[in-house]
Structure 1
Amino acid sequence: MNSPSAKRILVVEDEPAIADTLIYVLNNSGYQTEHVGLAQTALTQLRAEPFDLVILDVGLPDGNGFDLCRQLRRFSEVPVIFLTAHGDEIDRIVGLEIGGDDYVTKPFSPREVAARVGVILRRLGASSTNGQPSAITGHFELDSLACRIRYRGQMLDLTRYEYLLLKLLIEHPERIFSREQLLERIWQDPGEVFDRTVDTHIKTLRAKLRAAVADRDPIRTHRGLGYSLQSR
C-alpha cells in the first residue's frame, strides 16, 4: 500500500498488458500510479490534477505522444518519460528536444523504467532542496527556489532544460563548458542524449534572451571548446 506522500505517476499507454505490468512494478516501488489510454483523457487529467511524473506512449489511438507533450509543456514542467516502438535516432532527438526527460524503446524491462523514474525524481528533488533563494550575476537574477530567472529585469519563460542550462552558466560566469560537460551535468545520462540537443537548447535560449534585449547575446560560443556566459 502506498503512503499518502508517495509520488504520483500517470501512465499513458493504450496496451493493457504493458500498462498493467508497469503499474504493478511502479506500485511495488512505492509510487501511486494512475492509468489512462487516450491522449485527450491524459491532457484533461494533467490539467486537473498534479502528478510528479508522466510515462507517455508515443503511439496512442487518438493522437501522438509528442504532440501531447508539446501541449503539456504549455502549462506544466512535469517530467516525461516516452515509451515507443521506434528506435530511430531522430525520434529520440525529437522526444528530448520538445521537453522529454527520458526515452525507452519497446520491448523494455518495467524494472528499468521504474529505476529511470527514481533517477529523475531524485535529481529534481536534489535540485529543489539545494537551491538558494536568489543570486545575481551580471544582468541575471536567479531564484533557485522558484526556478525562475530574470534577465535585465524581465522574467524569462524557460523550459526545464533551458532553465537548468542557463542556471549552470549563471552560477559559473566566464567558465567554458564543453557539450559533454553540459550533457553530463544537465541530462545526467549523456549516453542517451546527443550533442545536437545541447546546441538546440542553446539556440532557443539565445532567441529568448534576444527577445528580452534585442542587441545583446550574453552566451558566447568558443569553437571547439563549448559555451560560456559573459559576466557583464
Structure 2
Amino acid sequence: MKNTILIVDDDELTLHFIETVLSNKNYVFFKALDSNAALDILKDNHENIKVIIADHIMPGILGGELLQIVKTQYPQIVRMVCTAYDSVANILDLLNKGEIFRYITKPIKDIELISFTLQALEYYDSTQEKYKLLNEISTIDKILEKTNIVLNASKQHKGFDYFEFSGIFDSCDMPIIICQKETQRVFCNRALLQIMNLNINWFDLEKFPNVSIRNKLISMIQSNSIFQNDFILLDSQYYNLNLNVADFNDDKFYFIGINKMEF
C-alpha cells in the first residue's frame, strides 16, 4: 500500500508548500481546499489514505471538527492538525477531541513537517499490523476452541474424527498447517493447498513436500517452542509465519498460520 496523504488547507500556497516539502519522499497526495471537499475525497479513497494533515482555521467546518469526523468514520487514518494556537489549553482540547497524533505549529517548519509525517506513516503501518495480528489471533482462538471440542468428543468415543477435524480448518480463509506431535502427521487446510498447489490434506511429517515448513515443524516439535516473525518462500512469494504450540489434554498440536507479505 502506497504512503498516501490527504492535505486540507484553504490556502493554496500552503497546500503547495506541504506537497513540495514532502515531494522527495515518494508520497502520494490528495489535496482539498476545505473540509467538505476533503470528506468527498475520503468517501471514495479512505481505504488508500494513511494520513490526513488539516489546517484548523478554515471557512465552514474547522479542521479540528473535520478530524473528529475522520476519527469517527475512518479511525484507521492518522490525524495531524496545523494550528497557530499558542494556548496550551486550546491545543490540548483540539488534540483530545480528535485524538490527533501530532499538531504542527504555523508557520510550518520543514524539518518538523517531514519528521511528524514519517512518524504518522510508521504509526499507521504498525497499528494496522497489530490489528491484523489481533484478527489472526481471534481467528485461531475460535478454531482452537472448536478443535478442543472435537478432540474431547473423539476421546470419549475412543476415535479421532479426522473428517470433522479437517472441516473446522477448511472453513478458515487463513492458510493453516497443523502437526500432531504423537502421530507426526501434518494437515493442510484448503487455503494452504491452493498456495502450495497440493491436492491432498494429510501427510506424514517426514514426507511433507515443502522442506522449509517441514524443518520448521520438526524444530518446533524438538524444542517445544513458539516462533515469531518468521517467513518462508513459496512460489516466488514471501509469507509471514505465525507459529504456535497448543495443548489439548494429552495431545500437543503445532499450528502455522501463513500470510502473504506485502512490500
Which residue of 2 is the match for residue 32 of structure 1?
28
Deviations 1:133-161 (A, max 9, x none): 45xxxxxxxx4879xxxxxxxxxxxxxxx
Instruction: Give the residue type in structure 2 aligned to 1:29.
Output: K
Aligned-residue identity in percent: 19
- Segments of 5+ residues of structure 2 without an aligned counterpart are 139-263
Q: Is the 8 A contact 1:11 1:19 kept in 2?
A: yes
Which residue of 1 is the match for residue 52 of structure 2?
54
Question: Cα RMSD over matched residues?
Answer: 2.2
User: 2 CA distance for matches of 1:96 and 1:144?
Assistant: 32
User: 2 CA distance for matches of 1:125 and 1:38?
Assistant: 27
Larger CA Rg, structure 1 vs 2 = 2
Q: Quick check: 1:67 aligned with 2:65?
A: yes
Q: Quick check: 1:10 aligned with 2:6?
A: yes
Aligned-pair CA distance for 1:92: 1.5
Secondary structure at 1:59 match in 2 = coil
Instruction: Give the residue type in structure 2 aligned to 1:97.
Output: N
User: 1 CA distance for matches of 2:55 and 2:137?
Assistant: 31
User: 2 CA distance for matches of 1:94 and 1:22?
Assistant: 25
Which residue of 1 is the match for residue 118 of structure 2?
118
Aligned-pair CA distance for 1:110: 2.9
Q: Is the 8 A contact 1:131 1:145 kept in 2?
A: no
Which residue of 1 is the match for residue 89 of structure 2?
90
User: 2 CA distance for matches of 1:23 and 1:145?
Assistant: 39
User: 2 CA distance for matches of 1:28 and 1:10?
Assistant: 16
Q: Is the 8 A contact 2:8 2:33 kept in 1?
A: yes
Gap change, CA 1:76 and 1:25, over 3 Å in 2: same
Aligned-pair CA distance for 1:32: 0.6
Secondary structure at 2:73 match in 1 = coil
User: 1 CA distance for matches of 2:18 and 2:41?
Assistant: 19
TM-score by length of 1: 0.52
- Segments of 5+ residues of structure 1 without an aligned counterpart are 135-142, 147-232
Deviations 1:76-133 (A, max 9, x none): 1111110012121122212221221110110121332121111121133234435674
Q: Is the 8 A contact 1:26 1:33 kept in 2?
A: no
Q: Is the 8 A contact 1:80 1:101 kept in 2?
A: yes
Gap change, CA 1:31 and 1:133, over 3 Å in 2: closer
Deviations 1:169-223 (A, max 9, x none): xxxxxxxxxxxxxxxxxxxxxxxxxxxxxxxxxxxxxxxxxxxxxxxxxxxxxxx
Q: Is the 8 A contact 2:50 2:124 kept in 1?
A: no
Greater relative contact order: 1 or 2 (C-alpha under 8 angstroms, separation 6 or more)? 1
> Which one of the candidate residues 36, 40, 43 is aligned to 1:44?
40
Gap change, CA 1:94 and 1:144, over 3 Å in 2: farther
Gap change, CA 1:122 and 1:17, over 3 Å in 2: same
Which residue of 2 is the match for residue 106 of structure 1?
106
Gap change, CA 1:130 and 1:44, over 3 Å in 2: closer
| Number of residue-to-residue matches in the alignment | 134
Secondary structure at 1:83 match in 2 = strand
